[in-house]
Structure 1
Amino acid sequence: MKLRVFLVLLLAGSVRAADFDLLVTNAQIADGSGAPLVAGSIGVKDGRIVAVGQVKGTATSTIDAGGKVAAPGFVDVHTHSEDICLIPAAENFLRMGVTTIITGNCGHSRTDVAKFFEEVEESDVAVNVATLVGHGSVREKGMGGSFIRAPDAEQLTAMKALVEQGMKDGAVGLSTGLIYVPGSFAKTEEIIDLAKVASKHGGIYASHMRSEGARIFEALDEILRIAREGNLPIEVSHIKLSGPSAWGKTAEVLAILDKARAEGLKVTHDQYAYTASSTGLRQMIPDAALEGEREDFIARIKDPEKKAKIIATMDEMRERQGRKDYSHAIIARFRADPSLNGKSVPEVAKLKRGSDSVEDQIEVIFDIEARGGASAIFHGMDENDLKVFMRHPQTMIASDGGPRRLGEDIPHPRSYGNNARVLGRYVRELKLLSLEEAIRRMTSLPAQTFQLKDRGMLKPGAHADIVIFDPAKVTDPSTFNDPHHHAEGFTDIIVNGGVVIRDGRLTEVRSGGPLRMGK
């Protein structure tokens, strides 16, 4: 009898559940707060962190960090990832440490947030996905194809209803892209009305302002007015000074934002670590010429008088920016003729028209837009300005990128290397930021700003989003000419307790999903 009891007790002990599902040992822990690194371990159970520090206990699975840094998963607050369900592994994000993305930026989003989240849930994505409601998308749906005017009362009511429903379904706020049609035609009062709806639900207002160049101070006045009258926090998207005529004004820009903070406004900004931007080539064309359908644009450039007015406006825009031509613009993706990808506008003009004169460059821009449009990379910032913005404690690190397939098109390298570039170039090489502070800008600051509950910190109770990397080896091999290279130096990536990258290899685990505000 005693022997039988002994055997039962022995068997029960042998199948006792482990203390942790996962134990990360031998790590230099950056908890996300900006505090100094601390040697220790991290215990994970049921997708949550349950112990940090000198952790004892058994584990179903163990990762020996080997003295590398363990940090909270990075939160990329500015992405364009409406197509995340088509590339659910999001490997380009994971391999630079990003475990959470916020999409719906620059005024473009899915307007049915509930349906978007359903699709994310069904797609077995590897990262956490939050979204903003895009004002431009709401405006397009609410107003149809006629935009050079204010919405009527019925249309504004419909737009408010779209924002209201999006916020109820879990969006984190409202975004605008005020250099893009149709948002560029919106008056400030319209945006304030919609911002008040987002505010009612505790949301944020994130804006690609009306100008990041010569008229940036007017744009700042507008965004601050929206914050005050809309009664909500604001996020300045991809803060920068674009074009030679604007360079060197970083101190003035930051002084305005710091003054607003001192007056009680909640103001933050995000930034990518490159001196080139990326958007549609059509941004070289005046907004009024783009209203309506592409056929309307084609009709305008076929009319000699209207075409002359469009060209005159383009000449004024270029002069205001301090540019002589369009050599700063490089084609990234032109579906109608992929052979042009990677070429500058003057190179395309020389190739297609036998001349790279400004007049021929404009004709190339018109032709590309008429044939479906193209995305482009614009080399338009100064490195010194970038550094000043990066030093500011309220600047977060965000890629302005999206999920990528290796080898497809010639995209901006930021989608592959942004976070790694900050850690490699600006932390390790230039010592512009400490490692701990850079991690704070990628983790707790964005999580707090966008109200992502229990994210951005390594502490008991937090969701187990963890990145492990070697700060001496992290780097971004992706370049403008050769962008399709994943970041290096990240060995293990954990999302909600699931190990999605192990020893540098992508696993079959897809433990991401939708993130609704406050949940």
Structure 2
Amino acid sequence: MKWLFLLLISTTTSAQEFDLVILNGKIIDGTGNSWYYGDIGIRDGKIAAIGQLGTANTLKSISAKGMVVTPGFIDVHAHIESSIFQKPSADNFIFDGVTTVVTGNCGSSFQSGIGEFLRKVDSTGTAINIATLVGHNTIREEVMQRAQRDPNESEQQLMEALVTKAMAEGATGMSTGLIYIPGTYAKTREIIGLARIVKANQGIYASHMRNEGNEIDAAIKETIEIGRATGIPVEISHFKLSGQRNWGGSNRTLGLIMAARKEGLDVTIDQYPYTASSTNLHVLLPSWVLAGGTDSMNYRLTNSAVFNSIRQEMLTKAKTDKRKNYAYAVVANCPGDSSLNGKSISDITKTNGRKPNIKNDIETVKQIILKGGAQMIYHSMNEEDVRNIMRYPFNMIASDAGVVYLPKSVPHPRAYGTNARVLAQYVRETNTISLEEAIRRMSSLPAQKFKFQSKGLLKPGMDADIVIFDPLTVRDNSTFDLPHQFSSGFRYVIVNGELTLENNTLTGARAGKALYGLAIPGKIP
């Protein structure tokens, strides 16, 4: 009897029991290797088995016949510090196959601190996993406000202490936004001092570089030098070439990245698949105009003598850029006047009864900024450069977007369709990259870079973040004119084992988790 009892226990515990089985899918595991057919068994939020599993020992099964099964997509460049709490279901990300995002980019992170942000993510319950960088601009402004100068010794030490604290609270690294204030006032040595702290805490350095147009080579070299001086892994954000005079230069700029990697420096890039960027209207002003905060800026804009200098500097830059007006700059969201949303600066100038030339457009820019500014879309890139950068193997796909919850805005379509656009246009339609390569760029490559040890691959023991889509119909539907449209073709999205999108319908599941950097003992991101 004792022998029979032990046999029954052995038989029961050896049986494979799953919460969910995905059947008959074309599996692309995230490594870049070719697809294969198989089933995936999920138990307790993890991938428990891959093979020919059947349905005998599962609570639920779904058929993936005719569809591709991949790791959940990891978006390494997002801005969701506040928007995720406005809409924790993160619909626009889920419908685009994204299960994990990295926020805190471009030098800006949660104002109340990294620890508070990550705790709030877990207490809120979000549909996606979230990691965050600590923003250099956020740190610098806390210590120095918007001062246009170098930090003194005590200020540098205080910034380093704040970065140390942020890493200890769970940041995955540090970001800079060297086109924005106050980061634009920082010298390279200041950033190197902070990057050394991040490196010591196993983090990475992600940078919106100082320039992405006429002075891009110098900006890339500065970013690489920070990596060389500290040994920190470097991620160059939304790699591009802005401005018509720079079009066709991507072989040269990519060559700088290749040379750095050949030297042994861990330098990678990310990209969104569009020829337009999106940022605020203030970037059209000379950076010195923004020093000291809003009151100081408004004084400079309304003082006729000072504004004459501002206008002349903007006219000179426009001439260098070969721009006759600001027709390339379109308002995405103007809180002070939503009637401007979707209109270009030149359109607004014309509506105001003035000829849309560069001088009058500068006046329009001033008036909008005095009313509180606007989020903009800038049509300034070349499709051939986008494709050339897309082919570079150490390049990740990233949206540079937030969670969309403002229906009256006219946001960049990348907020809805980044991954679907890559799969439709650059994989299926133009064969710019293979499907397996695209999935690697969206999964294991970002997981490796940001040290998410349990994500990015389909293999037993990994988190069950999984996307199932139809490779023949997946498509981005969001456009610049009509952006508020979800991607199509994604049938199922699973986050930590929970069906979050089922048969193209949100289930309401919010199984996402806060992901902590490696400086936190016992936390495996």
Q: Which whole-Å CA distance do the structure 2 matches of 1:292 and 1:394 have between them?
A: 39
Q: Which whole-Å CA distance do the structure 2 matches of 1:238 and 1:388 have between them?
A: 14
Aligned partner letter, 2:73: F
Contact kept in structure 1, 2:465 and 2:496, CA below 8 Å:
yes
Matched, 1:62 2:93: no
Q: Which whole-Å CA distance do the structure 2 matches of 1:70 and 1:144 have between them?
A: 48
Q: Which whole-Å CA distance do the structure 2 matches of 1:490 and 1:37 have between them?
A: 18
What do the CA deviations read for 1:222-243 (whole angstroms, capped 9, x no partner)?
1111001122010110000000
Corresponding residue for residue 95 of structure 1: 95
| Structure 2 counterparts to residues 228-377 of structure 1, below 5 A | 228-377=228-377
Q: Which whole-Å CA distance do the structure 2 matches of 1:149 and 1:188 have between them?
A: 13
Q: Cα 1:16–1:509, aligned 2, differ >3 Å: closer, same or farther?
A: farther
What do the CA deviations read for 1:112-149 (whole angstroms, capped 9, x no partner)?
1110011101111000000011101111111124x210
Aligned partner letter, 2:79: H
Corresponding residue for residue 194 of structure 2: 194
| Structure 2 counterparts to residues 190-229 of structure 1, below 5 A | 190-229=190-229
Deviating runs (4+, > 6 A) in structure 1? 13-18
Q: Which whole-Å CA distance do the structure 2 matches of 1:17 and 1:328 have between them?
A: 62
What do the CA deviations read for 1:413-464 (whole angstroms, capped 9, x no partner)?
0010000000001100001111011000000000000101110000011000
Q: Which whole-Å CA distance do the structure 2 matches of 1:320 and 1:99 have between them?
A: 42
Aligned partner letter, 1:128: N
How far the C-alpha of 1:406 sits from its partner, in A, is: 6.4
* Equivalent in 32, 41, 46 of residue 44 of structure 2: 46
Corresponding residue for residue 458 of structure 2: 458
What do the CA deviations read for 1:160-210 (whole angstroms, capped 9, x no partner)?
111111111111111001110110000010000000010001111110111
Q: Percent identity?
A: 45
Aligned partner letter, 2:304: P
Moved more, 356-365 or 32-41: 356-365
Gaps of 5+ in 1: none
Gaps of 5+ in 2: 519-523
What do the CA deviations read for 1:445-503 (whole angstroms, capped 9, x no partner)?
00000101110000011000000000000001100000000000000000000111111
How far the C-alpha of 1:20 sits from its partner, in A, is: 0.6
How far the C-alpha of 1:405 sits from its partner, in A, is: 2.3
Aligned partner letter, 2:60: S
TM-score calculated relative to the size of structure 1: 0.96
Q: Cα 1:350–1:264, aligned 2, differ >3 Å: closer, same or farther?
A: same
Contact kept in structure 2, 1:78 and 1:105, CA below 8 Å:
yes
SS at match of 1:440: helix
SS at match of 1:20: coil
* Equivalent in 34, 37, 60 of residue 36 of structure 1: 34
How far the C-alpha of 1:54 sits from its partner, in A, is: 2.2
How far the C-alpha of 1:16 sits from its partner, in A, is: 11
Matched, 1:171 2:195: no
Contact kept in structure 1, 2:323 and 2:358, CA below 8 Å:
no
Aligned partner letter, 2:17: D
How far the C-alpha of 1:261 sits from its partner, in A, is: 0.4
Q: Which whole-Å CA distance do the structure 1 matches of 2:514 and 2:408 have between them?
A: 26
Contact kept in structure 2, 1:18 and 1:60, CA below 8 Å:
no
How far the C-alpha of 1:295 sits from its partner, in A, is: 1.8
What do the CA deviations read for 1:19-42 (whole angstroms, capped 9, x no partner)?
111111110000000111100010
Q: Which whole-Å CA distance do the structure 2 matches of 1:18 and 1:53 have between them?
A: 12
SS at match of 1:151: coil
Moved more, 273-282 or 248-257: 248-257
Corresponding residue for residue 78 of structure 1: 77
SS at match of 1:179: coil
Q: Which whole-Å CA distance do the structure 1 matches of 2:337 and 2:392 have between them?
A: 42
Contact kept in structure 2, 1:44 and 1:51, CA below 8 Å:
yes
Contact kept in structure 1, 2:173 and 2:205, CA below 8 Å:
yes
- Structural RMSD (CA): 1.9
What do the CA deviations read for 1:391-412 (whole angstroms, capped 9, x no partner)?
0000110001110126230000
Moved more, 106-115 or 292-301: 292-301
TM-score calculated relative to the size of structure 2: 0.95
SS at match of 1:28: strand
Q: Cα 1:272–1:506, aligned 2, differ >3 Å: closer, same or farther?
A: same
Q: Which whole-Å CA distance do the structure 1 matches of 2:120 and 2:154 have between them?
A: 30
| Structure 2 counterparts to residues 428-447 of structure 1, below 5 A | 428-447=428-447
Contact kept in structure 2, 1:20 and 1:58, CA below 8 Å:
yes
Aligned partner letter, 1:80: H
SS at match of 1:245: helix
| Structure 2 counterparts to residues 389-404 of structure 1, below 5 A | 389-404=389-404
SS at match of 2:37: strand
Q: Which whole-Å CA distance do the structure 2 matches of 1:230 and 1:387 have between them?
A: 32
Contact kept in structure 1, 2:286 and 2:310, CA below 8 Å:
yes
Matched, 1:131 2:129: no
